[in-house]
């Protein structure tokens, strides 16, 4: 399969696609997108589905609520994705975008979180009809699950579950900065050989803390993408930006040029 370009659903993206101002291979949708939005996305190109409906999180002792799973079945039927990715661990909320995800369960020990995530991911992997990829989370200040952003923890879970990796570069940049790791060292420590999808967006520094604001890509983000692409063999690269149409178009065009050169 050739390397594909994806972008998160937005009205700007749909307008660009409808007017044939840009071409992409996939549109990413989340559980909070409406049925009408998902159908509109499907009319343009195939779908990728990210994350379970809230309050499902892998580090919950038993997240397989019947109502949630029934809702997820409907989402799968509507979107008909050929793969599925979700967050490895639910961390603290950082932005308006992240407030649409599930709330965190009560604070748990590292060993309990590891066991919960592995058990639930294995069960979800069996339940799904498509490949599962787990996505690294970005570390925030005073995060109860700081260890979940460390490469050793991420690697241990992915090895135990034997699933794909959705490498979120913005989350990696956030974690590396807030853990006071060198970014390249941090990235090299991740299980890059498992990376099925690469996700990019623009984080920002606020009062010395790096936060994933899902902003437009800046020079450091493009450099990090180049570094990762040189060391991975992903199937999909996803731009997670839903802002101004002109900026979205220019970023997607630059990403197309990069991917075509690989």
Confidence of residue 102 (pLDDT cuts 50, 70, 90): very low
* Average pLDDT taken over every residue of the chain: 91
pLDDT at 44 over 70: yes
135 touches 199 (CB < 8 A):
yes
| pLDDT, tens only, 150-194 | 999 999 999 999 999 999 999 999 999 999 999 999 999 999 999
- Hey, is 228 helix, strand or coil? helix
Distances (CA, A) of 240 to 65, 99, 168, 188: 29, 16, 10, 22
CATH of the domain at 37: 3.20.20.150
pLDDT at 106: 58
Task: Give the Cα separation of 116 and 60 in Å (integer).
Answer: 6
Provide the domain limits for residue 56: 4-260
| Domain count along the chain | 1
Task: Give the Cα separation of 31 and 107 in Å (integer).
Answer: 25
| pTM passes above 0.85 | yes
Closest CA to 140 of 203, 59, 222: 203
pLDDT at 99: 42
Over residues 45-74, the mean pLDDT reads 94
């Amino acid at each position: 399969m050739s390397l594909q370009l994806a972008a998160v659903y937005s009205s700007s993206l749909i307008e660009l696609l409808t007017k044939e101002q840009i071409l992409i291979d996939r549109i990413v949708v989340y559980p909070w997108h409406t049925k009408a939005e998902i159908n509109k996305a499907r009319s343009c190109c195939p779908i990728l589905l990210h994350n379970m409906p809230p309050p499902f999180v892998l580090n919950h002792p038993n997240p397989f609520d019947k109502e949630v799973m029934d809702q997820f079945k409907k989402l799968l039927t509507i979107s008909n994705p050929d793969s599925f990715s979700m967050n490895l661990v639910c961390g603290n909320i950082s932005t308006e975008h992240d407030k649409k995800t599930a709330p965190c369960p009560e604070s748990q020990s590292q060993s309990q979180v590891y066991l919960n995530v592995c058990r639930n991911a294995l069960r979800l992997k069996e339940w799904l009809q498509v490949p599962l990829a787990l996505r690294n989370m970005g570390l925030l200040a005073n995060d109860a699950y700081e260890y979940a952003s460390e490469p050793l923890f991420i690697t241990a879970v992915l090895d135990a579950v034997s699933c794909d990796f959705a490498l979120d570069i913005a989350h990696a940049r956030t974690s590396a900065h807030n853990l006071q790791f060198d970014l390249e060292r941090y990235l090299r420590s991740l299980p890059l050989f498992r990376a099925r999808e690469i996700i990019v967006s623009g984080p920002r520094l606020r009062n010395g803390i790096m936060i994933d604001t899902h902003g437009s890509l800046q020079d450091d983000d493009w450099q990090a993408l180049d570094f990762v692409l040189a060391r991975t063999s992903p199937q999909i690269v996803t731009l997670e930006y839903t802002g101004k149409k002109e900026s979205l178009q220019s970023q997607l065009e630059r990403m197309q040029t990069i991917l075509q050169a690989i």
